[in-house]
Amino acid sequence: MDLSVIYPVHISFQTRYILKRLQACLTNTNEGLPDAEHVIILSGRNRYVRKAQKLAEQLPFAINIIIDNDPTRPYSPGIARNRAVQHTTKNNLIFWDIDLLGSPQLFRAIPNHLQEIEKNPKAFHMYPCMYLCKEYSKHFKEDFERLWEDATNLRVNTLEHFAMATSTILCNKQHFLDIGAFDEEFIGHMGEDLELLNRLSIAYGKYPFEKDHTEDWPSKVPAELKGFRKHFALCGLDHLKEQLFTCHLSHSTRLGSLYKNSNTENRNLLIDKIKQKTEASFLGSTPSYWPKFLTETPNIKKGYLEVAFRKCRKLLKKPNQFFKDIH
């Protein structure tokens, strides 16, 4: 298979949970894509990097392990992915986060998608993700049929949300490099994947941009997305209908994390970048049909302690929003 799978992995004290998931994730993708080249780029605290390297080396299949001794601070997954690409030997790439597990249907579809890209190197595919809630993650045994049934019926305590635009992107390597790879101005969390999707979308031209494309209208409900987020969601909508998706295993995020705190700055940078790239001649309208399960919010019942924790978190991180909510 003419494909390199890229895994950016940064392990600190706060993200050491990755060590428990690393082998399961790598096994999942290797079983789904056994003939692909697997490249993991490791960085972080030395003791954890050594443990992750040992865990990867214990697996019964080949993995190209790259040690990044000079990661950005805060960690920038886009830059790490760019560095990993330099060590690949295949003509196509798929970017894969270590928190993800892929559905069997997704892995079966990738060879056909690679054939499309071989005919048109500007084509790309981006795969949506189901963010599992904490309790569902604990007991998930890779039963994707059951997950699909639970998620699409919005069963209580299954999903946090559907992520329709993700960094799980399949593309031609030379085209990826020709359009500039991941923009390395994005330092920390958020933005680098959407900005790349914008450039890929312009080059591919499958869907026109709507008039509000340069506006940022996020929502946990996919059918309510507007602007560029709606456009990118459409890139993944048909895949989701065909059960071509990943699932993200839940994990906690430390308050005050530099990685997460870069969110606002990167969001502003993302909007500026999209405004610079969007061409008026590319504007149009794209009809869309959203399945019912993408028009509602997943139902999660939280315990009292979790509710209290989330409220304290909001008070510390977003005090204005906290006091607005209680009025």
Q: So what's the pLDDT on residue 284?
A: 65
Which of left, alpha, beta for 253 (phi over 0: left; psi -120 to 50: alpha)?
beta
CB 290 within 8 A of CB 236: no
CB 2 within 8 A of CB 90: yes
Q: So what's the pLDDT on residue 263?
A: 82
Q: So what's the pLDDT on residue 69?
A: 96
On the question of a cis peptide bond just before residue 291, with omega within 30 degrees of 0, the verdict is: no
Tokens of 325: 């909510």
Q: So what's the pLDDT on residue 327?
A: 46
CB 10 within 8 A of CB 99: no
Q: How far is CA 73 from CA 70, 177, 225, 258, 312, in A?
A: 9, 24, 31, 8, 27
Cα distance between residue 279 and residue 255, in whole Å: 39
Q: So what's the pLDDT on residue 268?
A: 94
Q: Where are the domains of the chain?
A: 4-296
Tokens of 126: 């981006």
pTM, two decimals, is 0.90
Q: So what's the pLDDT on residue 321?
A: 61
Q: How far is CA 294 from CA 169, 219, 222, in A?
A: 21, 11, 6
Q: So what's the pLDDT on residue 304?
A: 45
Considering the domain 4-296 in this protein, what is its CATH number?
3.90.550
The residue ranges of the chain whose pLDDT is under 70 are 253-262, 279-288, 300-318, 320-327
93 forms beta bridges with 4, 171
Half-sphere exposure of 8 (CA within 13 A, CB side): 21
Which of left, alpha, beta for 191 (phi over 0: left; psi -120 to 50: alpha)?
left
